[in-house]
Amino acid sequence: MKKVEWNQTLSVGNEIIDKQHMKLFELRNMLIEAVDNKSNAAILAETLTEILKFTRSHFEFEEQFLEEKAYPDLQAHKKKHFEFKKKIAFISKEAISDRDSTQLKLISYLSEWIINHTSKSDLEYKKFI
Ligand SMILES: [Fe+2]
Ligand SMILES: [Fe+2]
């Protein structure tokens, strides 16, 4: 997996949300680094837990914010967040016997999703806020 830095082209035009997206990218890079360095299981699990926790709180903030701005596509956007959470929960439950591959699956899904979502779906609300 490749590290990606947040950049201005990804700005949604709101400073708080941009900062949260930057943090998501940072955590994502930390996670990739932990995998690349073959960090111990505890560090990897900790980073994964942190990014999932942060993702959830970011979704809450973003949804509330878009609701205040009466974003017309909010329901569809919420659904994307929901699908992500559902998929993460699904992968987590899967293959409990094989923790390592489950963790890697989670990491690759999560890493790809963050980039796709922030560079496409999140930018769709830019002109409404
Ligand atoms: Fe979003
Ligand atoms: Fe977002």
pLDDT in tens, 14-62: 999 999 999 999 999 999 999 898 888 888 889 999 999 999 999 999 9
How close is the Cα of 59 to the center of ligand 2, in Å?
6
Q: Residue 87 is part of a domain; what is its CATH number?
A: 1.20.120.50
Task: Report the pLDDT averaged over residues 58-86.
Answer: 98
In a domain, 44, yes or no: yes
- Residue 46 Cα to ligand 1 midpoint, Å, equals 23
122 Cα to the center of ligand 1, angstroms: 5
Instruction: Give the global pTM.
Output: 0.92
Say if 65 falls within a structural domain.
yes
In a domain, 2, yes or no: no
Which domain covers residue 52, as residue numbers? 14-128
What's the whole-number average pLDDT of the chain? 93
Place of tokens 């914010």: 65
Does the residue 103 lie in any domain? Answer: yes
pLDDT attached to residue 102: 81
**From the CA of 58, which ligand is nearest?**
2
DSSP state of 57: H
How many domains in the chain? 1
Q: In this structure, which ligand is nearest to the CA of 17?
A: 2
From residue 63, alpha-carbon distances to 71, 93, 94 in Å are 9, 26, 28
